[in-house]
């Protein structure tokens, strides 16, 4: 098992084994590649929001888990996004991908050194570019980069593979517009975090170059709910009940079985199950009480075991998807600042020739 640093630095060989343990000849310690940082402190606003969500949204998700076949108004959730405009001065323009639409989001005064491909969350069932454009506009401002959001196809009409295909099409669109792989950062939250890992894996399988980095916010990395059921956070998470995770797993499995053309096809491999060699450096942010904390921790460890660096940030008692609450929570604003710092470090200013690649704001 990979040793995880709690101080945010690489462990040196003498840090392993308590400093005094002796190993036999031929044993070599490899520094861990997980930079684990804990962000303590919970604001009054965060505690109040968490309590409100536990009393309102969590019961709704529990009800959905018991009756997912009912005609739930998933489209209505994305429509609510009309109440969440991007930050002032942001430019937005639609983009067309082969099988879905997208949205270019550009905060004021961004440069041309880097670009972000953003994949929204929503359990592959709901949400879209409207629900996430305010968050994405903040990320655009902090990262100093334009962002292409992908409004990928979702369950139950489509499979998770369709969502992966659409996300890869978004990456291909950036390459076709003139962006270099070394300028591209793939980011996503929750189910979009799942996609943010699956896209580089698909690119590798297709012989395409990897992006510069990945940013995953409270990522779903394992559909099977077993590990989540066994974790103490199964009861602590203010938003996501375990029953909802189990129902999502069942629903996705049934939809993929129905759409499968090969009756002998293997079960879906989730990000944690893949050979992760060659993955780019990754930032993972997750709340300490989230149902998806084990998904984040295991993914960070698997990345390190495969030789990829991972910054794992654990935010004390923050909600699933807390970054979207930046209008209310100081922790959310700080987390988005951290995202921007990571992206700008992954793709520094001035690395590439002057001149902006084609994007949605070209005439």
For residue 8, whether the previous peptide bond is cis, meaning omega lies within 30 degrees of 0, is no
- Tell me the torsion sign for CA atoms 282, 199, 298, 32: negative
Strand partners of residue 83: none
Indicate if 190 belongs to the active site: yes
Rounded to a whole number, what is the largest CA-CA distance in the chain?
A: 66
Pick from 182, 361, 194, 156: which is nearest to 271 by CA? 194
Indicate if 14 belongs to the active site: no
Catalytic residue among 231, 320, 332, 360: 320
CA distance 294 to 227: 7
Q: Which residues contact 361 (CB under 8 A, 6 or more apart)?
A: 91, 93, 104, 106, 146
Catalytic residue among 142, 247, 290, 309: 290
CA–CA distances in Å: residue 122 to residues 44, 50, 182, 270, 333: 26, 18, 28, 17, 21
Indicate if 297 belongs to the active site: no
Beta strand pairing status for 91-96 and 101-106? antiparallel
Catalytic residue among 190, 196, 218, 324: 190
Pick from 326, 241, 312: which is nearest to 4 by CA? 312
Q: Are the C-beta atoms of residues 198 and 249 closer than 8 Å to each other? A: no
Catalytic residues: 190, 290, 320
């Amino acid at each position: 098992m990979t040793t995880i640093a709690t101080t945010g630095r690489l462990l040196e060989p003498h840090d392993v084994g308590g400093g005094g343990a002796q190993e036999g000849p031929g044993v070599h310690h490899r520094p861990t590649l997980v930079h684990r940082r804990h962000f303590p402190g919970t604001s009054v606003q965060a505690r109040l929001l968490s309590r409100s969500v536990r009393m309102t949204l969590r019961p709704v998700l529990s009800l959905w888990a018991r009756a997912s076949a009912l005609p739930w108004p998933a489209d209505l959730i994305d429509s609510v996004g009309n109440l969440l405009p991007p930050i002032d001065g942001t430019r937005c323009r639609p983009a067309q991908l082969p099988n879905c639409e997208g949205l270019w989001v550009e905060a004021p005064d961004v440069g041309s050194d880097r670009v972000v491909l953003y994949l929204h969350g929503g359990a592959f069932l709901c949400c879209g570019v409207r629900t996430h454009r305010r968050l994405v506009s903040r990320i655009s401002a902090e990262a100093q980069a334009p962002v292409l959001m992908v409004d990928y196809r979702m369950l139950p009409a489509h499979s998770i593979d369709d969502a992966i295909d659409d996300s890869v099409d978004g990456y291909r669109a950036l390459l076709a517009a003139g962006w270099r792989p070394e300028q591209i950062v793939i980011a996503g939250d929750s189910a979009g975090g799942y996609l943010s890992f699956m896209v580089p894996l698909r690119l590798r399988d297709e012989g395409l170059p990897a992006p510069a980095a990945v940013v995953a916010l409270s990522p779903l990395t394992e559909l099977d709910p077993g590990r989540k059921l066994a974790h103490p956070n199964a009861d602590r998470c203010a938003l996501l009940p375990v029953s909802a995770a189990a129902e999502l797993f069942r629903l996705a499995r049934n939809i993929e079985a129905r759409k499968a053309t090969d009756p002998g096809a293997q079960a879906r491999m989730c990000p944690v199950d893949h050979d992760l060699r060659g993955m780019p450096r990754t930032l993972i942010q997750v709340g300490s009480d989230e149902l998806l904390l084990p998904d984040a921790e295991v993914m960070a460890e698997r990345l390190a075991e495969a030789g990829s660096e991972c910054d794992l940030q654990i935010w004390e008692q923050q909600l699933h998807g807390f970054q979207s609450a930046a209008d209310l929570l100081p922790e959310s604003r700080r987390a988005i600042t951290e995202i921007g710092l990571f992206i700008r470090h992954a793709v520094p200013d001035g690395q590439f020739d002057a001149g902006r690649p084609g994007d949605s704001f070209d005439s």
